[in-house]
Structure formats: C-alpha cells, structure tokens
Structure 1
C-alpha cells in the first residue's frame, strides 16, 4: 500500500500530493504546523498540540481553517490508512494560494491543509539508551518563537551545524549567553541540588507540549522544578541534562560542546521521566 497523505480534503498517495507554487507557505513561509507522536496506534497528547495549533493560527490571523475536531479526525484517519502503530503525524496549514505573489493577506483565499503520517521507532530509540550530544549555537530566529510557524531556516542551520560537529541536536543561545531551546526540542538541566530547570514560556521559545506533560509528571513525583533561564556555563556544570519533543519524547543529554554532563551517561532522573512519560502516553486514562 502506498503512503497516504491528505491535501485539501482528499486522501491520496503521497507521491501524488501537490500544492500550488503560489501557495503562501512556499512563497513566504506563511503557515503553521504541528507534529504529534503515535504510540500503539493512538495520537499522544493531541489535545495539547491542537490547542497550540489554534493559538498559532490565531496569532498569524489565518482564518477559515477547519474546526479542530475535523483536524483531529483527519489525523486519526491518516494513522489508520497508513497503518502506523508507532511514529508521527505532521499537519501544516498555510494561508493558501492566491492569484499572484503579494505580501499583503489575500482576500477570500482558502487555507491550504496538508498532512501525512510516518513510521518511526520512538519507544526503543537507541538515543534513549546512549544519550545525545549537543552543540550550542547563536539563536538567529525571529522574535515570535512562541508561534509554531513553518519558517524554520534558522533551526535547519542550527541542526546541520550540530550534525556537522558529530552531535544530534543544537541548543540555541541568546545574546546574554542563556539557552533558549533546541532546534527541535525543549532544553532541561538538573542541577547538583536536584532541581529541574527549564526556561519559562515567553515569545522567546515555543511552548512545548511534551515539556508541559513532563513537568506535570515530574511534579507528581515530588521532583523540584524551576522555570528560569539558565546559562551555557550552568548547563556544562549540570548533574544531568535532557531534551523533550513530540518526536523523541524524553532524551538524555550526555555531552554539550564536547564536555561530558555529569557522568557522561544518561542520568537516573532523566531515565525516570522517560519511563513515566511512556507509561502515561501508552495509558493516559490510568495515569491521569
């Protein structure tokens, strides 16, 4: 069976999926997106992702998008049609394709909606056992990072710089030397006093859905959490570090800029949080 995508009301083979070259997502990166994990054939924490999608659409003033329940139904249908037991669903909504290229919002243009599902090994990811290496890079993004836009060039460059350096992720750093977030993840450290630290939500970072869930689970375990900025130097000296994202859940960070973090191996608190998240993702009704 061919991989099935969704484009503007139609389910069709991925190889046949097309949008106009005048689509504003292609011309201006004028659109938003979401990614949700699939575990055991179910979307994980999707209400949180769809709530963030609503906010992104509102902030960019993209009107006439389908109702959120309709979007959820599209995602569920893609999971079924592609027979994905474990993986991801990607959804993108742009302002649509106008008759010409003009910066101003076009009148009467319907949004473009595309989505597809991919299989991916999430639960038994090798990176969860070995940990990942981080490269820090300057944060070159625009000021409204709380909107999940498809304008990802700065993140692409950051990720490639990390890969070129033999790392798996980049942590972006503001002009004050403070970590904002990863190129496609949220950054956390565990201090030597056993305090979990992550940057507070603001226009400087994307409000991570997995971040929020992990913080809730950590609080239930009576772990101490602080939302505050932390510097690269503080990260170097951390007892543990980890990242969160929909596509990776919780991954231990074992090295930053060539410096081992803690023992240089995945830490106990990080392993615990990954286990708790997986238990919740696979049985959310039982764990709350």
Structure 2
C-alpha cells in the first residue's frame, strides 16, 4: 500500500502529492514546520509542539490553517491511513499560493498544509544510542530568528552534509564568542565536571526545542541539576558526558566532538538514564 500524505484538504498517495509552483514555502521559504515523535501511533509532547507551531506562525503573521482540534484530527488520520505505530509526523504550513512577490499577498490566501508520516526502526535507534555518536562543530552562519521553526534550512543542510562527510551524525554551531548554540537539527547538552547538565538558554538565537523542554523537567524530577548556560567545544570534549535532543533523536548520547572523545569515549549512565526516562514520559503522555 502506498504511503499517504495530506495535502491541502486531501489525502493522496505520496507519489502523487504535489504543491503549486507558486507556493510561498517553495519559492521564499515562507513557511514553518513541526515534527512529532510517534509512539504506538500517538503524538509525543503534543502541547509543546502545538504551542511552538502557533508561536512560529504568529511570528510570521501566518494564520493557523484550522483549529488545534481539527489539526489534531488531520494528524491522527494521516497516521491511521499510513498504519505506522513508531515513527515521525511532519507538518508544514506555508503562507499559501500567490503570484511571486517578496511582500505578503495583497489579497488574503489560505495557508497551505501538508502532513507526512515516516516509520522509525526503534531497535536500530536504540542500538545507535547504545553505541553513541560523533558530532563536529561549524561556525554559526544562520539568520537571527532561529527561534522560529521555519523551513529556511539551507545552513542547517550544509552543516549536516559537512557532518556526514566527516563521519558524524550532527554538527554543532559555534557563535562568534566560541560558544555552542545548538545542532543543525537538535539541541546540544553536556554533563560537566561538576555533574551539572548544561544546555544553551533560549534567550540566545536557538530553537526552543520541545524535547529539550520536556527533558529539563525529566532531569530535575530525577534529581539532576540543570543549568541553561552555554559551553565551548573544549568544555564538551572535557565533559563527563554529552548528548543531543530532538523529536527524531530523542536523547542521543555523543561520544566524540571534533574527533576528541567525550569523557572516556563511551556512552555514560546519565544520558542512558535520561533517554529511558524521557521515552517513558513521552509514551505515557502521547495523544
């Protein structure tokens, strides 16, 4: 059975899913997106993702395409039609279709909406988490509104390619002060020498990660100290542990930064524990 996509009010086989050539998301990156982890057919961290979607749309002055309840129904129906239990749900909302012009359309147009679902092999992702991954660093070169989850991801794509060519899974952006901001598609964390979890504060130019926010609660409930304070690549290499978070990675241990081992170069107990606790919470609260 072909995978099914939702495109502007219709469920269609993915092979036949198309958007108009003058969709502003395609021509101007005038669009936002969200990604939910899918556990047992349910959306993880629902409140955080919906709240961030609404904020991103508001910042770009794009109307919500439908009510939250209606959008939830669309997401669930797309999941049901694809018969996927463990995976990722991708939503994109653009300003809509209009004659190409940098300024907003003079006559209002309805936002364009697409939803797709992809399967995730949980056994494979658990094996990767057990082994740990490598990251590299790269100079920060993105625009000044990374807090908006826009589809304008060219610098992120180039950073990911740089990481792939270096045999790593992620690239951490480093700002002009020499501090890590975040990953190309994740938030960055370390467990420092004092046993404090550190991740960049959201007053900096970073995405307000939903998994990041949930994990802060999980960590504090587990009795860990969390400090929203930046760190350097050198501090990461000297840390006890490091990891990244995101809807796709969940909590993924990092064992190497720029070729240098983190701690003893093996996955640590704190990241392993936090991954387990986060997944337990996400499964319990998914809708």
Name segments (4+ residues, structure 1) moved above 4 Å.
Answer: none
Are the counterparts in 2 of residues 243 and 253 from structure 1 also a CA contact under 8 Å?
A: yes
Kindly indicate whether residue 141 of structure 2 is the aligned counterpart of residue 140 of structure 1. yes
The answer for the alignment partner of 2:237 in structure 1 is 236
Gaps of 5+ in 1: none
TM-score, L = length of structure 2: 0.97
Partner of 1:87: 87
Q: Which residue of 1 aligns with 2:270?
A: 269
Structure 2: state its 5+ residue gaps.
none
Query: Residues 14-44 of structure 1: CA distance to partner in whole angstroms, max 9, x if unpaired?
Result: 1111111011001100000000010111111
Distance 1:258 1:64 in 2: 44
SS in 2 for 1:282: helix
Residues 105-124 of structure 1 show CA distances to partners (whole Å, capped at 9, x for unaligned) of 00211111001101012465
1:66-110 deviation per Cα after TM superposition (whole angstroms, max 9, x unaligned): 112211111111111101110000000000110x21111002111
Q: CA deviation at 1:127?
A: 1.5
- Deviation per CA, 1:206-231, whole angstroms, max 9, x where unpaired? 00000011110100011011011111
Q: Deviations over 1:237-276 (max 9, x none)?
A: 1110000000110000000000000010111000000010
- The equivalent of 2:13 in structure 1 is 13
CA-CA distance at 1:283 after TM superposition: 1.9
Give, in whole Å, the separation in 2 of the partners of 1:120 and 1:199.
28
Residues 144, 203 of structure 1: 8 Å contact kept: no
Aligned residues: 284
Do 1:133 and 1:168's aligned partners in 2 also have CA atoms closer than 8 Å?
Answer: yes
Q: Verify: 1:22 aligned to 2:19, yes or no.
A: no
Q: Is the 8 A contact 1:122 1:247 kept in 2?
A: no
State the partner residue of 1:65: 65
TM-score by length of 1: 0.96
**2:204 & 2:171 partners in 1: Cα distance?**
19
Aligned to 1:42: 42
Distance in 2 between residues matched to 1:64 and 1:230, nearest whole Å: 36
Q: How far apart in 1 are the matches of 2:204 and 2:232?
A: 18
Residue matched to 1:102: 101
